[in-house]
Amino acid sequence: MMSSPTQSRVLRYMLGFIGVVQLFLGLVFIFLPMQFASLVGLSSTPPWALWMFAMFGARALGFAYGMFVAMRDPARHSAWIRAMIVVQAIDWIDTMYFLMNGSVTLMQVTTAAFLPIIFIAVLVGMYPRNRNNNTISQQE
């Protein structure tokens, strides 16, 4: 259960927004990876990399599905929320690593420099908690 209707609404909107972002990224990495790379100023990748992009795209579509499922009942599907928190943390750490070593620029990583932090803050702050003892819901 959520601690307030406002928290529930904010969490549901955020899950929906993250789902849309994941859906967009999944489709881009499956169908337009080279065009996207060119758009953000990344150099050409070898043809075998398209295989990896398609595999990432499939996973992004899976997480989009999970965010839309969790959006309907966050407490019941909290495992999807926890998984997305971990994904966003890894995304941000990797983004910072590659920014710091000069492999990519801030203009190239665009929203990956800040959106994961926002996503994590909202998902952790609004995470479904049991009203009785304020612990994480175990309803999976």
Q: Per DSSP, what are the bridge partners of residue 129? A: 136
Task: Work out the pLDDT band at 115, boundaries 50, 70, 90.
Answer: very high
Contact 1, 75 (CB under 8 A): yes
Mean pLDDT of the chain: 91
DSSP 111: G
DSSP 68: H
User: Residue 105: phi, psi to the nearest 5?
Assistant: -105, 165
User: Residue 50: phi, psi to the nearest 5?
Assistant: -60, -30
Rounded-to-integer distance, Cα 51 and Cα 31, Å: 11
Task: Work out the pLDDT band at 3, boundaries 50, 70, 90.
Answer: low
pLDDT digits (tens, 9 = 90+) for 29-42: 999 999 999 999 99
Share of the chain above pLDDT 70, in %: 90
pTM given for the model = 0.87
CB atoms within 10 A of CB 58: 12
Written as six digits, the tokens of 49 are: 């990399």
pLDDT digits (tens, 9 = 90+) for 69-111: 999 999 999 999 999 999 999 999 999 999 999 999 999 999 9
